[in-house]
Amino acid sequence: MSAGPLIAVLDYGMGNLRSVEKAIEHVGARAKVTSDHEAARRAAGIVLPGVGAFPRAMDRMRTLGLDELIAERVANRTPTLGICLGLQLLFESSEELGGSDGLGLVRGTVAKLDAPGLKLPQIGWNEVTWRRRGQLDDGLPERCAFYHVHTYAPAPASEQDVLATATYGSDFVTAIDHAPVYGVQFHPEKSGPDGLRLLANFIRVCDAGLARAA
């Protein structure tokens, strides 16, 4: 078993948790899929995955008290990474299915992709352009492709939170850096070596947090 930091992969019943767990272990960390609050409090980092509809996901999060748990961990500066729907949940609200409030950890909203004439959801590889250098994209080329599956994308209120964009009909935000909160619209666990590099970068952020707390 890896001696790396423990990462809690939050389980609220909506996400491909096993593939995320395996990818985290592959890059040298320990992963625990859990909805248990105490287990998450012991972790050096939090990963919030997700596939499905925003309102249902938030209902599940609130039922399990994971909304309050994540807010607590972020307040304690625990690195937190949202993946796909998990990225969207970090924001204040989404227009999906009539609208729903989100976790509100990052200012901004989530809206449907502006992609006239293109099939939704977007499914497949799409080139990502890093808008600045942050901790997630360390060592990655300025442009690289990641695997996307989504109909909605976030619109951060602050340009400073935008780490990367991609284009599907029009430009959309596909990665954010609002430390200690990070997020990607794509699936790094399904995106080959570049996706694993991004996850390894997140693990390094978690390691650095442990070192500061020691």
| Residue 187 is a catalytic residue | yes
Residue 12 in tokens: 């609220």
| Residue 37 is a catalytic residue | no
- Spot the catalytic one: 21, 148, 189, 206: 189
Q: What is the largest CA-CA distance in the chain?
A: 54
| Residue 189 is a catalytic residue | yes
- Spot the catalytic one: 84, 96, 148, 206: 84
Question: Alpha-carbon distance 2 to 30, whole Å?
Answer: 6
Question: Alpha-carbon distance 39 to 151, whole Å?
Answer: 32
β-sheet bridge partners, residue 127: 145
Beta strands (DSSP E) in the chain are 6-10, 30-34, 45-48, 80-83, 91-94, 100-101, 106-112, 122-130, 143-150, 152-156, 162-168, 170-178, 181-184
- Spot the catalytic one: 21, 96, 187, 206: 187
What amino acid positions are annotated as catalytic residues? Answer: 84, 187, 189
